[in-house]
């Protein structure tokens, strides 16, 4: 087996168009983290100077992240991933302690929401799923129509990770607030790409992860509105004001804070830049026959383009593009050895054939127009080749 570094050097694609999966570490973030990977160390829970220095560093990060979200620092709970933040709300809090309970959940949620919801359903919770329209947008009235006396929680993400559709969270959360129903908003994909202010959103829980906006892996947070029900999922030490046991990952949290600071400063420039790339790509795509952009008419994340290329199976296309030097995502999930088309696309009412011929291209601010143009040429060539092969009768 080659060392992972050799493997990357040999096979690293030249162009990375998969920024919704993860993003490269910002150089400023790396600089901020470096001391905490070497000369500086300490457990923030320790009372001595080493510990207090680590604690100070994590509190600076908390303020930086709160600044990006318009939140109060004390309302943020550091966690290891967006997945953990969503699970903490769904599985940490006892939504189903009484005999009856009900959840309203959008049909476009990330697996880190819908899988815990399925677990709750198995243990007796009733769930109403609300599918989006053909553009991927969930109708706020439909969500509210599903709420009942015993609805414990509504789950609606801010931006879908696959199609990038922005959801009407503010509207739903405003109505839920009037009825006293808490809302979990998975904002992992939205933060750092579009402006987010927790006070405006009126939600009760909001998850955010550093690695989606040029911060490190292994750092995320759950914002919990003051006074909202919260019980820790991880039990043990009294870290994070008893809300999340486990020693805080100091270097990652320091990087998370710096990434939030940089994102707040650069958000506008970054969004303009990625939107320019996406527009270039989507107008160039018109020259490929039988291609469509999912959610084209909806408000979307500026960096995300999820497309269907009829007759070109997405797994085969992804491999061909990788070999040609472009990293994109197929948006489908591999489960039990079979490739399942995207759950989001199916919920949007896309036919299975269309869903299995779909690709997600997610741009980053360091991508260039030249890369987009080169990609369009390669894409046109590979799609034509796949369509040719699929039309050849098999012997």
Ligand X SMILES: Cc1ncc(COP(=O)(O)O)c(C=O)c1O
* Residues that are catalytic: 334
Contacts of 155 (CB under 8 A, 6+ apart): 90, 103, 104, 105, 106, 109, 113, 117, 183, 184, 185, 186
184 lies in the binding site for ligand X (CB under 6 A): no
**Size of residue set near ligand X by CB under 6 A:** 12
Residue 360 backbone phi and psi in degrees, to 5: -105, 125
251 lies in the binding site for ligand X (CB under 6 A): no
- The least distance separating ligand X from the CB of residue 101, rounded to whole angstroms, comes to 23
Residue 32 backbone phi and psi in degrees, to 5: -65, -35
Stretch that binds ligand X, among 46-54, 118-126, 183-191, 239-247 (CB under 6 A): 183-191
Residue 154 backbone phi and psi in degrees, to 5: -115, 135
- The least distance separating ligand X from the CB of residue 394, rounded to whole angstroms, comes to 36
What are the DSSP calls for 253-294, one per residue? HHHHHHHHHHHHHHHHHHHHHHHHHHHHHHHHGGGSTTEEET
Using CB under 6 A, which of 18, 26, 75, 186 touches ligand X? 186
- The least distance separating ligand X from the CB of residue 90, rounded to whole angstroms, comes to 12
Using CB under 6 A, which of 42, 132, 182, 209 touches ligand X? 209
Three-state DSSP state, 384 = helix
* CB-nearer residue toward ligand X: 112 or 151: 112
- The least distance separating ligand X from the CB of residue 209, rounded to whole angstroms, comes to 4
Stretch that binds ligand X, among 146-154, 176-184, 185-193, 222-230 (CB under 6 A): 185-193
What is the C-alpha separation between 231 and 39, in angstroms, rounded? 36
Using CB under 6 A, which of 54, 71, 157, 196 touches ligand X? 157
Contacts of 242 (CB under 8 A, 6+ apart): 232
What is the C-alpha separation between 345 and 18, in angstroms, rounded? 18
342 lies in the binding site for ligand X (CB under 6 A): no
**DSSP 8-state secondary structure symbol assigned to residue 9:** H
Using CB under 6 A, which of 76, 103, 153, 188 touches ligand X? 188
Stretch that binds ligand X, among 49-57, 181-189, 317-325, 346-354 (CB under 6 A): 181-189
Contacts of 145 (CB under 8 A, 6+ apart): none
- Between vectors from CA 287 to CA 284 and to CA 291, what angle results, nearest 5°? 95
Of 167, 175, 161, 218, nearest to 196 (Cα)?
Answer: 167
- The least distance separating ligand X from the CB of residue 161, rounded to whole angstroms, comes to 3
**DSSP 8-state secondary structure symbol assigned to residue 11:** H
For residue 225, the cross-strand partners are none
What is the C-alpha separation between 354 and 346, in angstroms, rounded? 9
Residue 2 backbone phi and psi in degrees, to 5: -70, 155
314 lies in the binding site for ligand X (CB under 6 A): no
For residue 326, the cross-strand partners are 15
Stretch that binds ligand X, among 59-67, 130-138, 174-182, 186-194 (CB under 6 A): 186-194
Using CB under 6 A, which of 76, 103, 185, 220 touches ligand X? 220
* CB-nearer residue toward ligand X: 18 or 382: 18
216 lies in the binding site for ligand X (CB under 6 A): no
What is the C-alpha separation between 184 and 37, in angstroms, rounded? 34
* CB-nearer residue toward ligand X: 114 or 230: 114
18 lies in the binding site for ligand X (CB under 6 A): no
Q: Which residue is nearest to ligand X (CB)?
A: 82
What is the x/- site pattern for ligand X, positions 49-88, by CB under 6 A?
--------------------------------xxx-----
253 lies in the binding site for ligand X (CB under 6 A): no
* CB-nearer residue toward ligand X: 161 or 271: 161
CA-derived radius of gyration, the chain: 22
Using CB under 6 A, which of 23, 87, 112, 305 touches ligand X? 112
* CB-nearer residue toward ligand X: 230 or 256: 256
- The least distance separating ligand X from the CB of residue 184, rounded to whole angstroms, comes to 11
Sites of contact with ligand X (CB under 6 A): 81-83, 110, 112, 157, 161, 186, 188-189, 209, 220
């Amino acid at each position: 087996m080659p060392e992972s570094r050799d493997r990357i050097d040999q096979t690293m694609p030249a162009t990375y168009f998969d920024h919704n999966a993860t993003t490269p570490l910002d150089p400023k973030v790396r600089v901020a983290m470096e001391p905490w990977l070497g000369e500086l160390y300490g457990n923030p829970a320790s009372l001595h100077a080493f510990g207090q220095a680590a604690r100070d560093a994590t509190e600076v990060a908390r303020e930086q992240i709160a600044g990006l979200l318009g939140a109060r620092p004390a309302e943020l709970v550091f966690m290891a991933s967006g997945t953990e933040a969503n699970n903490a709300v769904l599985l940490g809090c006892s939504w189903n302690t009484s005999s009856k309970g009900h959840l309203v959940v959008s049909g476009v949620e990330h697996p880190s929401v819908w899988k815990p919801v399925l677990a709750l359903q198995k243990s007796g919770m009733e769930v109403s799923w609300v599918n989006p329209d053909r553009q991927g947008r969930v109708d706020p009235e439909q969500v509210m129509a599903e709420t009942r006396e015993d609805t414990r929680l509504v789950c609606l993400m801010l931006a879908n990770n696959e199609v990038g559709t922005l959801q009407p969270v503010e509207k739903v959360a405003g109505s839920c607030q009037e009825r006293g129903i808490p809302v979990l908003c998975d904002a992992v994909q939205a933060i750092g790409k579009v402006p987010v202010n927790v006070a405006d959103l009126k939600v009760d829980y909001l998850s955010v992860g550093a690695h989606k906006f040029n911060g490190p892996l292994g750092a995320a947070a759950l914002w919990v509105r003051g006074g909202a029900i919260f019980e820790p999922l991880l039990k043990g030490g009294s870290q994070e004001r008893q809300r999340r046991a486990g020693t805080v990952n100091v270097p990652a949290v320091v990087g998370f804070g710096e990434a939030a600071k940089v994102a707040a400063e650069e958000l506008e420039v970054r969004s303009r830049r990625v939107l320019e790339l996406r527009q270039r790509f989507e107008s160039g795509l018109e020259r490929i026959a039988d291609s469509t952009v999912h959610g084209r008419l909806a408000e979307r994340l500026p960096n995300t383009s999820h497309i269907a290329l009829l007759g070109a199976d997405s797994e085969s296309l992804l491999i061909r593009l990788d070999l040609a030097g472009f990293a994109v995502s197929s948006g489908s999930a591999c489960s039990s050895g079979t490739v399942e088309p995207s759950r989001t696309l199916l919920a949007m009412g896309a036919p299975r054939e269309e869903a299995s011929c779909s690709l997600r291209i997610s741009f980053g601010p360091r991508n260039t127009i030249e890369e987009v143009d080169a990609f369009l040429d390669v894409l046109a060539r590979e799609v034509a080749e796949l369509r040719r092969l699929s039309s050849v009768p098999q012997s």
